[in-house]
Chains A and B, each alone.
Chain A
Amino acid sequence: MISINLLNVMKEFIKIVVTSLPSDVMNALEKVCENEESVAKYVCDYMLKNVYFASRTHRPLCQDTGILMFFIKTNIKSPHIGDLKEVIIEAVRELSREGILRPNSIDPFTNINTGDNTGRYVPWIEWDLGNDNVTEITLYVAGGGSSLPARALVVPPIRGLYELVRLVLDTVGTYGLNACPPLIVGVGIGATLEVASTLSKKALLRPIGVRNSNPKVAELERLLLSKLNSLGIGPQGLTGKTFVLDVHIEYGFRHPATFAIAVSLSCWALRRGTLVLYPNGKAYVKTHGVKLEGV
């Protein structure tokens, strides 16, 4: 049975995520506007103006509200665990009907759009069961333009890191131009293809400016960031200083015979948020500082 209260909380949460930006992305974007010149600056100012307008009027800031991806951290005793999947799907359905989410779920064999953002594996829901007594739901909106250039492959381990650098430069340098820069680049390393891919997506969930806790990895992040920006592609490909807002690397351990690597991109309009559900029924969107049930 769907708890009506949880459904309303979920709908409000999704609405906040698609109509505004988390503060780290907003701050990074404001900095870009200060640093760019000529047409690039003009365009960045316009982008920022759109973000303010969207949150003021509660309109989706980008018409591509993407494929909704939910990453849930909870515990088996959580009072919400049995309802969450059903609640998410119902919330997505209702928001599609209300014109908040664009219908983006399409059968790959018939090209028929389901019209309500549901379908096989859509929305995407990932579970992480632990011992915390709060439930954290992180939503990432995967838009089409920046999902299209993503790449993953498995390479022989000896050449692993060099192949990784090449993959990042090829993917971002060649295709990033059309993926709505300034971009956020997520890089994943793991034993198998899907591990690397998942980690490259999770890398996009880390706040802009926060480095990997491993100093060597952090150094590689900084290096890739500055070198990608030196390509001069700039915002929207109109040339300028900032082509990439940040590079995040997440890694898992590899197998003796494999080194899997993946690159996921986000457009500048990185829409993500985290909803925290407390056992007493209170709810808080911590990425946006919004209390939904009077915490």
Chain B
Amino acid sequence: MFRLKTPISDDAIAEISIGDVLFLDGIVVTARDLAHKLIVEEGKECPINLNGLAIFHAGPIVRKYNNEWFITSIGPTTSYRMEPYEYEFIKRTGVKLIIGKGFMGDKTAKACKDFKAIVALYPGGCGAITSLSIKEVIGVYWLELGVPEALWVLKVKELGPLIVTIDGKGNNLRNYVMNNVNRLKDKITKEICNHVSTLL
């Protein structure tokens, strides 16, 4: 198990490989569909310098109390939706750790290799318990995009388990899982179809 702290240096992630389990301390910023589109496609400047930090593909449930924001529940959203933008996003922002749900594709893996970054999945559907790792809501940008799409700047302690799916060498855990699926899928489909004939 690895313990990472922001700002994350290239050295800090050099020894981390796919399948490793991490916990994060420091600053994480939520960014999902619209934030990626605005920064990559429309060239908008990110209101916070992400160099060396972590982003979280996530949209929280929040509550405002005495002018202070609190996170009731927060967890990852499907990272694959950000696949078309992530190469450019990593290149422009210098972000070092991308946390999300599920897996990302070849373009993101290439960005991780080219710019030294890693991608990790956080178990989905664990929003309640994750709120324990959020120590402070430091700020929020682009709230006009709605609560889920806004950039929430969070101070976290022991955020995890984060399972590394793409490492700094560009290895992608998704390929190991899906190669097996692609090898089996047609055979299995045929087997079920043969059985279906006997059902009729």
Contact = CB atoms under 8 A, between A and B. Distances in A.
Contact of A177 (B59, B149, B178): B178
B178 A63 contact: no
Nearest to B127: A63
B6 interface: no
Contacts of A100: 61, 72
Interface residues of B, number: 57
Nearest to B199: A216
Interface residues of A, number: 62
B127 A64 contact: yes
A43 interface: yes
Interface in B107-161: 121, 123-132, 145-149, 161
Nearest to B191: A227
Interface stretch (A79-87, A196-204, A236-244): A236-244
Contacts of B59: 63-64, 102
A237 B185 contact: no
A173 B185 contact: yes
A59 B174 CA distance: 32
Contacts of A42: 21, 161
A102 B61 contact: yes
A26 interface: no
Interface string A3-26: 000000000000000010000000
A47 B185 contact: no
Contacts of B121: 236-237
A53 B132 CA distance: 10
Interface string A217-257: 00110011001001111001111000000000000000000
Nearest to A145: B78
Interface in A102-135: 102-104, 106, 111-113, 115
Given A99-B63, A220-B199, A59 B131 contact: yes
Contact of B161 (A43, A173, A224, A233): A43
Contacts of A102: 59-61, 73, 147-148
Contacts of A237: 102-103, 121, 174, 177
Contacts of A148: 78, 81
A239 B188 CA distance: 18
Contact of A113 (B74, B146, B192): B146
B35 interface: no
B35 to A, nearest CB: 12
Contact of A180 (B73, B80, B125, B130): B125
Interface stretch (A161-169, A273-281, A282-290): A161-169
B180 A223 contact: no
A144 interface: yes
Interface of A: 19, 39, 42-43, 46-47, 49-50, 53-54, 57, 59-65, 98-104, 106, 111-113, 115, 144-145, 148, 161-162, 165-166, 169-170, 173-174, 177-180, 216, 219-220, 223-224, 227, 230-233, 236-239, 267-269
Given A232-B184, A239-B176, 5 more contacts: A50-B126, A64-B127, A102-B148, A227-B188, A230-B188
